[in-house]
Structure 1
Amino acid sequence: MFAPALQGHRPIRERLLARLQAGRIRGSLLFAGPEGIGKRRVALELAQREICFRRTACGACEGCRLFEGDDLPYELPNLLRITPEGKAGVIRIDQIREGLDSANQPRFSRGVIEWASLAPPPNCHRWILVEEAHRLNESSANILLKTLEEPPQDTHFILVTHRPEAVLQTIRSRCERIPFAPLAGPEAWEVALRHGWTDTDRARWSALGEGSLRFLEEDVFRRAEAQVEAWLALLGGAAFSEAAGPLLPEKDGGVAQGEQLRQPLELLLRLLADLARIRAGAPPALAPWGERLAALAAGPLDPRPGQEAALEALRHLPRNLSPEPLLREVALALRTA
């Protein structure tokens, strides 16, 4: 009764299935947990099981093939997906009200509100999946709120996010929160093996991923790896102009430059937390870099100014500040510490 290729979260999936079969599943759910651990895929499994010819999400029938691949359609017979758009990565009001894409062309024939009110296909529910729900802007969130309060019969909203605190409180209060934990290490690595990874990179890949699948694409992983190396160099006293290259956002990237800074800042916080762990006699979470971290921990470096600067920078990211001055300020705090 479960998608064979989907790893982890079995207790949650079993509870959701049992409640669905008993008619006790809420109209609005909030799937919350770390980024890249499979929350979205669990949501898709609920819809896939209903379209599956065997009603099991078998992954082999024509119904299941509709759910295959990374380029999943925005509308399927019983599923509507709402995703962030554009460099700013926000979910706009017209996606909720009118169902138009960034080029102002119909991506699906109706907006969310009308789509939700239609009768579902036979023996199915209507599922509306809001991916990265923290990307709802205020206007789109308020429009969605009206439908979330009383979803039409047999219609279910699933909001997926790794930043539930950034979701409008009135929306959170109308959803049942389903908490997700990271995948177990072997579960995440089994998925990595299916994507061509080898044991050569297992230690670093697993340490950086922390039970997530964020780094399945090699270029994404290599960039994170380079960012760790850059911070270690800066912590060791290297000049910003010499070491900071991997930390700077890609100007031609598909994501806003401010948002690209989130990953390197979060990696810095993890490195600084590991310094504190080592000084307390505990092993570092980023164990593949343990020797270099231990050398830094043996010195007089105080991680607190760097932590405060990184957290302050993360708070400012939505303001689209200039990336390089922001990173220089954080690096200066490391040097001062």
Structure 2
Amino acid sequence: MSFDAIQGQTAAIGTLTRILRSGQVHHALRFEGPDGVGKEMAALAFARALVCTSGDPLGCGQCSACERAAKFHDGPPAVPMHPDVVLVERGLYPPEILGRSRQELKDISVDQVRKVILERAPYPPHEGRARVFIVRRAEELSISAANAMLKALEEPGQGTYFVLLTARPARLLDTIRSRTFRIRFGPLPDAVLLDLLKRQGVEEQAAIDAIALASGSASLARALVDPEASKQRHAFVDAALRAIGADDYTASIELAEGKNVDKKQLRENLEALAARLARAARADALRQGPRARSLAVRYQIVLGSIREIDRNASPALLVENMMLRLRAVTG
């Protein structure tokens, strides 16, 4: 993965390449921004540049180190072939590797931080130039894992670097934020997403419809053009809108009880509902219609529910509470 392949993040990539060319690389970086906008691609390009053996500050892309940094083992765990590019992620490693009896379900455990980071960080890189730890969804670090991670950030070994990826930086410990250099990644422009989807063979109108819901995320845009997933989302949105206007709570309860889905799918469903409400609110406002305010209030309720997904153990309870609030809005 090269920096040239990352589209729509001119400011972030410009900052990274300037840092690398200067030779003054901060040992701990924090890539902040929505999911699916290129943070991990940039982290891998950054890691490749650091382990490159050719002397090219941005990575030559041709030496053995660059090639192995860009290729992954089939897994488990599915990690880069270069031993000095190390991934950390909830559930990435089989529990027996971490000395656990069961898989990590809710957060990145302290066992993973100890085994994958702390046992390696004090020692020189395997191949001499650098070792890079990339933490996916760093906001999922448990409290004990975050405190263990803090120790590594405070006492980095020679040639050791950390890149923390997060879409929810407010959930990181203040002490971790203060010890990491922030690089901001924004939502991808519509033109970048349209080009991406069209190159994957998606029809232009389908791509435009997906982009309207994707909030600048390439991964969400790809998911939105999947026919089965799209059908399911439309069904959820239609059912939710019917339940809001129904005479009683039966439809709302049925909708909630039917939400035995994972949180990723629930997030996509609610994002689709929010987008539908936002479009309706804008259209009503342009017509100076009477429902613009109530639609805007409902839109904010759905956005709040999206933010609650990671903190709520029960998707069904979250949907039920959201529907009660949506129905309570008058107008």
TM-score tier, shorter chain, comes to: 0.7 to 0.9
Native 8 Å contact 2:187 2:215 kept in 1: yes
1:302 Cα offset (Å): 1.9
Question: For residue 329 of structure 1, what is the aligned residue in structure 2?
Answer: 321
For residue 38 of structure 1, what is the amino acid of its counterpart?
Answer: G
Q: Does 1:67 align with 2:84?
A: no
Q: Does 1:189 align with 2:194?
A: yes
Question: For residue 22 of structure 1, what is the aligned residue in structure 2?
Answer: 22
Question: For residue 112 of structure 2, what is the aligned residue in structure 1?
Answer: 95
1:179 Cα offset (Å): 0.9
Native 8 Å contact 1:228 1:267 kept in 2: yes
Native 8 Å contact 1:125 1:155 kept in 2: yes
Native 8 Å contact 1:4 1:58 kept in 2: no
Question: For residue 32 of structure 2, what is the aligned residue in structure 1?
Answer: 32
CA RMSD of aligned residues (A): 3.7
For residue 10 of structure 1, what is the amino acid of its counterpart?
Answer: T
Question: For residue 76 of structure 1, what is the aligned residue in structure 2?
Answer: 82
Native 8 Å contact 1:36 1:212 kept in 2: yes
Q: Cα 1:329–1:320, aligned 2, differ >3 Å: closer, same or farther?
A: closer
**Separation (CA, whole Å) in 2 of partners of 1:58 and 1:22:** 17
For residue 209 of structure 2, what is the amino acid of its counterpart?
Answer: R
1:149 Cα offset (Å): 2.0
**Separation (CA, whole Å) in 1 of partners of 2:232 and 2:256:** 7
Deviates more, 1:152-161 or 1:315-324: 315-324
Deviates more, 1:128-137 or 1:69-78: 69-78
Q: Cα 1:238–1:24, aligned 2, differ >3 Å: closer, same or farther?
A: farther
1:192 Cα offset (Å): 2.3
Q: Cα 1:74–1:247, aligned 2, differ >3 Å: closer, same or farther?
A: farther
1:43 Cα offset (Å): 0.6
Work out which of the residue numbers 205, 210, 213 in structure 1 matches 2:215.
210
Q: Cα 1:223–1:64, aligned 2, differ >3 Å: closer, same or farther?
A: farther
Work out which of the residue numbers 126, 137, 140 in structure 1 matches 2:145.
140
Deviates more, 1:113-122 or 1:240-249: 240-249
Question: For residue 287 of structure 1, what is the aligned residue in structure 2?
Answer: none
Deviates more, 1:79-88 or 1:161-170: 79-88
Q: String of CA shifts for 1:270-294, please: whole Å, max 9, x gaps.
A: 444445444543xxxxxxxxxxxx8
Native 8 Å contact 2:137 2:167 kept in 1: yes
Unaligned runs of 5+ in 2: 92-102
1:298 Cα offset (Å): 4.8
Native 8 Å contact 1:7 1:188 kept in 2: no
**Separation (CA, whole Å) in 2 of partners of 1:246 and 1:38:** 33
For residue 78 of structure 1, what is the amino acid of its counterpart?
Answer: D
Q: String of CA shifts for 1:64-90, please: whole Å, max 9, x gaps.
A: 365247964166332110011257341
Native 8 Å contact 1:230 1:247 kept in 2: no
Q: Cα 1:167–1:267, aligned 2, differ >3 Å: closer, same or farther?
A: farther
Q: TM-score of the superposition, structure 2-length normalised?
A: 0.76
Q: String of CA shifts for 1:232-284, please: whole Å, max 9, x gaps.
A: 44445497766875994445xxx4x5x65444344444444445444543xxx
Native 8 Å contact 1:131 1:160 kept in 2: yes
Q: Cα 1:10–1:200, aligned 2, differ >3 Å: closer, same or farther?
A: same
Q: String of CA shifts for 1:2-24, please: whole Å, max 9, x gaps.
A: 44543231332232122123222
1:221 Cα offset (Å): 4.8
Native 8 Å contact 2:113 2:145 kept in 1: yes
Question: For residue 97 of structure 2, what is the aligned residue in structure 1?
Answer: none
For residue 125 of structure 1, what is the amino acid of its counterpart?
Answer: A
For residue 67 of structure 2, what is the amino acid of its counterpart?
Answer: C
1:199 Cα offset (Å): 1.8
Question: For residue 47 of structure 1, what is the aligned residue in structure 2?
Answer: 47
Q: Cα 1:314–1:305, aligned 2, differ >3 Å: closer, same or farther?
A: same
Native 8 Å contact 1:126 1:156 kept in 2: yes
Percent pairwise identity: 31
Native 8 Å contact 1:74 1:82 kept in 2: no
Q: Cα 1:116–1:165, aligned 2, differ >3 Å: closer, same or farther?
A: same
Q: String of CA shifts for 1:126-185, please: whole Å, max 9, x gaps.
A: 111000011011010011011112322321111101111111122111111111111111
